[in-house]
Structure 1
Amino acid sequence: MRYLVVSDTHMYNDIFENITKHFYEHVDIMIHCGDSSLPCHDPLLKGYHVVRGNHDTLEFPDKIILGNVLITHGHLFHVYHGYQELLDFCHQHHIKYCFHGHTHVPTYQIIEGIHFINPGSTMMNRGSYGFGTFALVSIEDDKIDVHFYHHTTFEEVDQVVLEEGLATLEEFKQLIHKYNK
């Protein structure tokens, strides 16, 4: 199964539409992890499994479960504070693959056997590189292949950029923790 995964498009509709047109025929499932900032029945969302982000209306579901796959935005699971709430939910519902957004940082992590994939934001990510990303994910017979791509050039994102994003996310989590005491 091949997935196109986007998140946090925030009304950058030309970019979102271009990604969709380019990859629509090459994937089995299209996922939007929230914060499209579009109405629920907008034609740009046609064909996507879409969840509600913190900038979306209540028309969208908070989460979608497709077998052992969870789609969520992440804000309701407080992903800026870590994955514990999301991890607990995944264990309770026998989820093996979790797609989420919210942080504007592309990440792929395996925690306690659960694969957490955040495509980043197609608008703009946190970190010095500042460009948007999306992900193409293939899952076949419990083998997973995750690749992140630049939002306009469709070039694969270098591992160094992804590592910087993780470091930026960790710094951001520490700031949130510091100021929420």
Structure 2
Amino acid sequence: MPLADLPALWRLGLRNLAADRLSGIAAHPGVTHLTVTGRQPLVLDGLRAWKSLKELEVSEPAAFDDALDALREHSRISVLGLTAFPWARRPTRPAAVPTIRELSVQAPDHGGDLGVLRPLFPGVTHLRLDASARRVLDLTPLHSWPGLRVQVNGLTRGRLIGAEELGDRLNASPG
């Protein structure tokens, strides 16, 4: 059955796709939540065709600068999850996406800096970090981010540098 024949569809999850472009997936006008995981990074072209989309999760964006541009142009998206955030690749041009309110990413490797998130996503008020692959995580760069609430999964407070300064803005769970 084609997706277009499901008018009540609002959440769509596509896993292990061979497609490397969002434009290769038929857009559905009613989908507000889209999750796409694939075997390779995904080009976020065709995002404009997803008219109702508010929440997007992808495993890894193909070209980070282009992905940020696409997200900025599709301002209805306020919740973003990037399973494999490109910590080592900084944008080559100004690329803030102020409409993102909730952001979920994996914690950076040792030496990675959480401070890169604020200039990219200045409107974020809720940050979820998957730290299950880390032994320790430095939250110090998040101290000066006003109104930010942080959820860390995979580490206890004792393994988080700068946890005390975040106070009740931080929730940490070991699993």
TM-score by structure 1 length? 0.32
Q: Computing the radius of gyration over CA atoms, which structure comes out larger, 1 or 2?
A: 2
